[in-house]
Structure 1
Amino acid sequence: MLAGRLARAPELATRCARTPPDFDDPDWAALLDAVSVGETRLFRLPGQFTTLATLLPGLGTTARSEGRALRLLSAGCASGEEAWSLAALAMRHMPPGTTVEVLGLDMCRPALDAARAGKAGAGLGDPLALVPPDVLPLLADEGGRPRPHPALRAVTRFHRANLRDALPGRFDVVFCRNVLIYLHEKARAEVIGRLTGALRPGGVLGLGPTDQRPAGLAPLGEMLWRRNA
């Protein structure tokens, strides 16, 4: 897969081979844009979101009692569907008076542009097919087209970031799905450590079906784990 993507950007690959990797170097940034895998969709793996919905009221109550916002992170957010899904679910299941902050992180600049614009990826089939009816008004316009509601836009931000760098603060929910499979073993362990370390006590980590169980977290089912301490 990677070889095929590199073949579509031969000049960039050649130039980057002469210089050390630099996240902000224009050539390396362009190469990362070219080889990034952006497969995603709204409410992908719906069972995971169903389980998370049962946990959000308790997480929101804790956040409100501590005088802070409930924070959710989509690590490797691609074009934003996962982050928008988390935002919609949180807005739907939060206790009254709870504020929400959602952050999406990715390295691919075109994907982040699409995320900020609220454009669902082309994908296969109806992009709204997996969205639960109770949150559909937050993710579709009056014409039935996928479009984040202004209330979601007000609480959701997207930034370019490398998951091997320090994460921006602590979170109640961290999703990192179908990202770790593209990392070598050392980087995978490093990122898992950062994701786990960014969880608040009681926080929930969501991984993809091919990811290994993270050490020190309690399983909740549906590839979700809780940090108890």
Structure 2
Amino acid sequence: MIDTLEPRKTAGEATASRAAAVAEGAIRRIVPAERQAFLDHLLRLDPLSRFMRFGGVVSDAALARHASRAVGGDKLLVGYFHDGELRAVAELHPLPKRAGKPVAAEAAFSVERDWQGKGIGSALMRHLVLLAQNRGIEDLEVVFLPNNGRMKSIALRHDADFSLDETEMVGHMRTPRATPFSWIREMISDVSAVFSAAFELQDRLLPRQHRGH
């Protein structure tokens, strides 16, 4: 019998494949007008991905409440868009200030099943670190289930320190201080986000067969 399985990719080939997947889409800030797109993304998560993101079983109604609270205010969202559709999101939630403790925020990630394992989560983390850096956030915290290997790998790439809090893993990452260059990077990204969001919102109003033309 002839083995028809494809050969395993080398580390270099896998890295190139992930970079290509990220390059095919666009990563930018999510604006308040895209709240529905964020909810639609959450509703597309398969049961396991939804469980991993929220650490338990979450209803559609709970997702709607989360989407209404997460977009706007002091919370920041960064999304990965492919062909105008939001496929992955990184959320930055500032935590209450505590005397004598570093300024902290919690990061959370959701990636649709078909887009997992392509380096998109890592790319979103880099953008989230930039946003945290420019807001004086010193401690970026990620909370995830112990069996969420992908989330642990992303945090490890950013030199996270881990602890086990009852049934959850908690990773803490130190963010660098803001620099003029980091502010310029965010400013350019924000301008791009506004124009891209306006174009994509307009595009969604068209029938699907006419989108992108």
TM, length-normalised to structure 2: 0.26
Whichever structure has more strand as a proportion of its residues is 2
Whichever structure has more helix as a proportion of its residues is 2
